[in-house]
Amino acid sequence: MKKKLVNNPDHVVEEMVEGIVLADPDKLSKVEGYNVVVRKDSPNEKVALVSGGGSGHEPTHAGFVGEGMLDGAIAGDVFTSPTPDAVFEAIKAVDGGKGVLLVIKNYTGDVMNFEMAAEMAEAEGIEVDHVVVDDDVAVEDSLYTTGRRGVAGTIFVHKIAGAKAEAGAELAEVKEVAEKVIKNVKTKGMALYPCRVPSAEESTFTLDEDEIELGIGIHGEPGTERTEIMKADDILDELLGSVIEDLPYESGDDVALMINGMGGTPLMELFVANRRANQVLEEKGINIYKTFVGEYMTSLEMAGVSVTLLKLDDELKELLDAPTEINIMK
Amino acid sequence: MKKKLVNNPDHVVEEMVEGIVLADPDKLSKVEGYNVVVRKDSPNEKVALVSGGGSGHEPTHAGFVGEGMLDGAIAGDVFTSPTPDAVFEAIKAVDGGKGVLLVIKNYTGDVMNFEMAAEMAEAEGIEVDHVVVDDDVAVEDSLYTTGRRGVAGTIFVHKIAGAKAEAGAELAEVKEVAEKVIKNVKTKGMALYPCRVPSAEESTFTLDEDEIELGIGIHGEPGTERTEIMKADDILDELLGSVIEDLPYESGDDVALMINGMGGTPLMELFVANRRANQVLEEKGINIYKTFVGEYMTSLEMAGVSVTLLKLDDELKELLDAPTEINIMK
């Protein structure tokens, strides 16, 4: 995969951020000089929520900036942690005096740079706290992480902590519910075809024409197993089986289900995957409270799917159902 | 592209339709024995809107079934017109006594089969009328059409005619506003990489590693020009230039803009495209009333983009803004 709809790879993130803001100019703005997207109406009288990371995972994270979810998002270079400076700018742009919660996906560079930014902000008197999402059950440590990777489950943290903040909760309460989501959300993904970073000549990894990778990360990091292409139902059984046994999710549990496309997967195939996920969960007696099928946490044009479950209690259900401007999370 | 997340290609459409309904079981149902998705609350006291066509263009059309848009959608085999029988079943399932408007994309097979279904329904006393969408400015006739092809502009017909029907208009009025949209909507697309039909061994067309195709259809039908890969901005200038001069759209016009991904295009690239489209329209003095960036009318995993403009008057603005359950058209 060599051809891309880009101009200069060096400017692709900046041009993307401009395109995101231009798509919703009444609601969003870009922080001058930084690849940071913020709500136009921030700061306001609530805890502010900020996330970010390397680009290439769109709509994550800038696509989740809006009422009821994030107040700001930092877009690093493609698959590269944003600088502490950029995170610091985002924090300053959205702080309304009630503090800022950073939602960090568990990658070593992200954790380090977000923590440095938090220190810079605290030195200026801004109250900052953070949570680290590590929902990927595939591997315990990885190429870029100590501990598990943060992947599609992060979107549920944005939604639920965002709703809590919008409802007027204090920083400690928003953090607490974010931690509750993190404890109850698990994901596993797979790839059929790799992606290519705009500035690179070659794909981030290679797969043979009859080969797939299970347990893959969102930057082409190795998964748990390379295997011959299987039927969709067998792939789903494998992914969902690993997710279910990890928490574990049990008969009688209520869950939110996310069937997430990795960027290059036709929606047709995601719905075929959703059909099987429904069958498996029904067999296990696990009740689907709400289903999300689409592209949430992508890896450029990688073809593949991830499956996420979030175990819900009454508080999480209410917050998951709370109003948001972000259409794909309604 | 050989690998797909499917089970048996012969059952992929049926399994997809099951997966679509399972993603929103409170609102959608499948007509027993047919690949037809209908609103659970249809029929009701309004004109019903039905569309459909070959599968492989998801979320088109079943993804647009819901309050404020379609009442029913027929999913034919991949890139294959649905049978008159299936269209007839959809018409019967949604008719509430005020008549049914069929929204047909201009492909010879679709027009023929939808018209046969309309005759079958009329013979049973159901009032049926239809419109044919032909928004693709690339070619005057094509492999599968007499006249221009119907592509992404169709979604604006669903939204605006759907809002008119929801507001209680009569069949003739719903048809009239649908015709107004069709007169004012134009699209042109391009491909970087082809797609492959699940039952086929090979892609629907081939492109060299440095080659793109402008003016392409949504089934791999030939476009107007094969050329070397260009910068995103140059591609956008070409597509949008053809669209603008066709109607033509003029300085002072208000438009809705749709930057539509063809299925395998990362969202990053669509936002880069949106940035340039905004620049071009601003230079021309054409005012963007509302922007839609995402996947609306796809061609399986084809990589590429289409650009659609709809010229808006006050009536069309009001109907475009009317409430709908369909999140990506809010």
Q: Specify the pairing of strand B36-39 against strand B72-78.
A: antiparallel
Mean pLDDT of A240-252: 98
pLDDT at A57 over 90: yes
Residue A1 confidence (pLDDT) above 60 = no
Q: What is the pLDDT of residues A294-305, one digit of tens each?
A: 999 999 999 999
Q: Do domains A9-183 and A184-329 have the same CATH topology?
A: no
How close B262 comes to chain A (CA, Å)?
9
In CATH, which of 3.40.50.2000, 3.40.1390.40, 3.30.70.330, 3.40.50.10440 is domain A9-183? 3.40.50.10440
Which residues on B lie below 8 Å from A6 (Cβ)? 231-232, 269, 272
The verdict on a CB contact (< 8 Å) between B272 and A16 is yes
The share of chain A scoring above pLDDT 90, in percent, equals 92
Phi/psi at B104 (5° precision): -110, 130
Identify the band that residue A43 occupies on the pLDDT scale cut at 50, 70 and 90: low
Please report the pLDDT score of residue A204 as a whole number: 85
Domain ranges of chain B: 9-183, 184-329
Q: Measure in Å the smallest separation between the Cα of B183 and chain A Cα atoms.
A: 25
Separation CA A45–CA B285 (nearest Å): 38
**Which pLDDT score, from 0 to 100, does residue B43 have?**
63
How many Cβ atoms from other residues are within 10 Å of residue A33's Cβ? 9
Looking from the CA of A139 toward its CB, the CA atoms found within 13 Å total 21
Position A191 confidence tier, pLDDT thresholds 50, 70, 90: very high
* Closest chain A C-alpha to B124 CA, distance in angstroms: 34
The answer to whether residues A19 and A72 touch, using CB atoms and an 8 Å cutoff, is no
pTM, two decimal places: 0.97
CB neighbour burial string for A145-184, b if at least 16 within 10 angstroms, e if fewer: beebbbbbbbbbbbbbbbbbbbeebebeebbebbebbbeb
Q: Is B269 close to A4, i.e. CB distance below 8 A?
A: yes
Residues in chain B: 330
Predicted confidence (pLDDT) per residue in A307-327, tens digit: 999 999 999 999 999 999 999
Residue of A nearest to B268 (CA): A16
Number of cross-chain residue pairs from A and B with Cβ atoms under 8 Å apart:
186
pLDDT for the residue B322: 98
Q: What is the mean pLDDT of residues A106-115?
A: 97
**Residue A131, SS3?**
strand
Nearest 5°: the CA angle B270, B271, B275 is 120
Alpha carbon B109 to its chain's center: 16
Q: Which residues of A are catalytic?
A: 57, 219
Token output for B201: 């061994």
Which CATH number describes the domain made up of A184-329?
3.30.1180.20
Does the interface predicted TM-score (ipTM) exceed 0.90?
yes
Tens of pLDDT along chain B (330 residues) come to 579 999 999 999 999 999 999 999 999 999 999 999 999 976 678 999 999 999 999 999 999 999 999 999 999 999 999 999 999 999 999 999 999 999 999 999 999 999 999 999 999 999 999 999 999 999 888 778 889 999 999 999 999 999 999 999 999 999 999 999 999 999 999 999 999 999 998 888 889 999 999 999 999 888 889 999 999 999 999 999 999 999 999 999 999 999 999 999 999 999 999 999 999 999 999 999 999 999 999 999 999 999 999 999 999 999 999 999 999 999
- How far is Cα B162 from Cα B174, in angstroms, rounded to an integer? 8
Yes or no, beta carbons of A293 and B23 under 8 Å apart: yes
Residue with tokens 């300085």: B251
pLDDT of residue B1: 52
Q: Give the containing element (helix H, strand E) for B222.
A: none
CA distances from B222 to A67, A132, A181, B215, B229 (A): 43, 49, 49, 8, 17
